[in-house]
Amino acid sequence: MRLGKFLFVGCLSLISLASHAETLNGLYQVREPVSSQSPEERDQATQRALEILVLRLTGDAKAAQGPGLAAIRKDPQQIISQYGYDAGPPESLQVDFDPVSTDRALRQAGLSLWGNNRPSILSWWLNDSTEGSSLVGDGQASAAPLRRAAQHRGLPLRLPLGDLNEQIVATAPNLEGSDPAPLREASERYGADALLAVHAREEGGQWQAKWRLWLGDQKEQGSVQGADTAALADAVLLAVSQRLAPRFATRPGTSSEQLLEVQGMNLEHYAALGHLLEPFGAQLQSVEGDRIVYRVNGSAEQLRAQLSLARLQEIPAGEAQAPVQAPVQAGEGAVPAVAPAAQLRFRW
């Protein structure tokens, strides 16, 4: 297929993405509770909102206090597009940060940046309290603190329906066990990228939880505590965000330029791949049959993590294939240029 024709029809298919990863809306919008609308209270809430945003985008709890953001901390208005108040309850200040100026400021400060294309997380969350044991299902009142915490920490969270069959699977032993197989089988219909198992307990008026996260063949785990279910949910999702961010965040000046080849392309795959590669400044180099080559800026580990969201499989280095011819304007008798070999190769 001609390169120009491929690009033209490929752009038309952007409405249909094959990746399970989600584009997170509201990533640059932060709500912070306030006790009044006084200038002093607004300034304090704005500073807290800035810290929350920087943590969302970097996964680094210390980033907001770094010297590179000193000017932003002194005058956050330079990256704020608008703010307003929400009557609640509780009453809160809503701060809308400008994505372009915010990203520019973080990169100029030398900070890693995690974009809004993030892995979707299906959470199996079991609450044990004095009132009994219950699985948090989609649509239940108990799901509200989890959804607020997910928005607050910048994560696309999904919840199961919580029907009888799922309640049988989501037991404490399965949630705390090291084998995710029972939960994975029950999770297939939701099509999420990551699986989060949380067993929360109320003891002496306090809440504590053990959590496990599976993303591909990688596992994370930890334990947190909170004064109530809302604080506990926020603590769990903060921990998850900080574990995931290093896999996907790109740091200016440390990423290497390399060629990425992907096989098995079609129009839908082209749209999904372009979306996934946005954080890496991808530049199309060549197209030959169902193979496409991009020039990207990022580490191999970050690219592998990002491409895993679309279920791409890496091709072993030993599986050699003829190099792709670069698209050049060749005169009569000229030999078409051959593109350099890609350092990373994947297939759908």
Q: 3-state class of 14 per DSSP?
A: helix
Low-confidence ranges of the chain (pLDDT < 50): 1-19, 328, 330, 335
In this prediction, residue 252 carries a pLDDT of 67
CB-CB neighbours of 310 under 10 Å: 20
Q: Is the dihedral of CA 176, 178, 182, 188 positive or negative?
A: positive
The model's pTM: 0.80
In this prediction, residue 12 carries a pLDDT of 38
In this prediction, residue 3 carries a pLDDT of 45
In this prediction, residue 16 carries a pLDDT of 37
Contact predicate 343/300, CB 8 Å: yes
Considering only CA atoms, which of 13, 10, 22, 12 is closest in space to residue 310?
22
Considering only CA atoms, which of 213, 193, 177 is closest in space to residue 24?
193
In this prediction, residue 304 carries a pLDDT of 85
C-alpha span between 51 and 63 (Å, rounded): 8
Fold designation for 117-248: Double Stranded RNA Binding Domain (3.30.160)
Q: How far apart are the first and last CA of the chain?
A: 18
Contact predicate 96/81, CB 8 Å: yes
In this prediction, residue 263 carries a pLDDT of 93
Ranges of each domain in the chain? 3-20+252-347, 28-108, 117-248
Contact residues for 252 (Cβ-Cβ < 8 A; gap 6+) = 107, 110, 113
Considering only CA atoms, which of 228, 234, 336, 231 is closest in space to residue 288?
336
**For residues 292, 296, 298 and 299, what is the CA-based torsion angle, rounded to 10 degrees?**
50
